[in-house]
Each structure stands twice: as structure tokens, then as C-alpha cells.
Amino acid sequence: MDNRRFTRRQRTCLEGRIIFNHRHSTLDCIVHNLSSDGAKIALADYARLPDEFDIAICRKRETYNAKIIWRNTTEIGLRFLRPTNDNVVSIELKRRIRRLEAERDALASRISEMTYPG
């Protein structure tokens, strides 16, 4: 296969998460190489995926809209269409924010009770 990439990819071994089906489905992957315009990812097993999906690169805290350019049984070559970091929050982060907000509210309530005994 000839290399039609516009930018050089850096070898990596990063955790990734494929996000699809209107953010209702996720699939873990490993990002084996990465550049500003694409990546090569590996899956544990063959998975049926849409042609376009979001991919979150966990350690970098970046999410991209990606398109499949090529694939074989367990590897997929991606081209990034545009960063989607602007409005995307991972499910795990959203859960953590909700939990921390609940803890904050409970602490504020306890402080209020201690400050103004009834």
C-alpha cells in the first residue's frame, strides 16, 4: 500500500475509545500511530463500525471526528475530519462531574447546618 499521508505519523500505544450510534455505543481500541490528520487503531476483534465516528484519545484528552480510510480484520486507518473537543464531554467525565457536584452540595448543606444550628 502506498503512503498518501500529508503528515508524518508518530508511533504510539495509547488507549482510545470509539464513540458511535449517537454517543450511545463505545468500543475500546489502541491507537498505534497518530498525526494531526489521522491515526491507525487496533481492535481486539473485528467490529462492525459506521464509516464515520468520534474517537477519544484518553491520555491526550482529545476527541476527533474520524472517517475510515482502510481496514483489515483488526486494524483501521483513520482520517480526522475535524476536532470535536469543543462540545464533547466523555460519559465518564460527565458522571464524575455529577458525583462531585452532589458531594459539593452535601458538604455545603453540612456546613450550613454547623454554622446555623437549628
Say if residue 86's pLDDT is above 80.
no
Q: Which fold has domain 1-87?
A: Thrombin, subunit H (2.40.10)
Read off the pLDDT of residues 98-111 as tens digits, 9 standing for 90 and up. 899 999 999 999 88
Domain spans of the chain, in order of start: 1-87, 89-118
Output the pTM of the full model: 0.63
Query: Which of 14, 9, 20 lies closest to 88, judged by CA?
Result: 20
CA pair distance 28, 14, nearest whole angstrom: 11
Say if residue 1's pLDDT is above 50.
no
Taking 3-state DSSP, the helix, strand and coil percentages for the chain, each rounded to the nearest 5, stand at 20, 45, 35
Q: What is the arithmetic mean of pLDDT over 30-44? A: 93
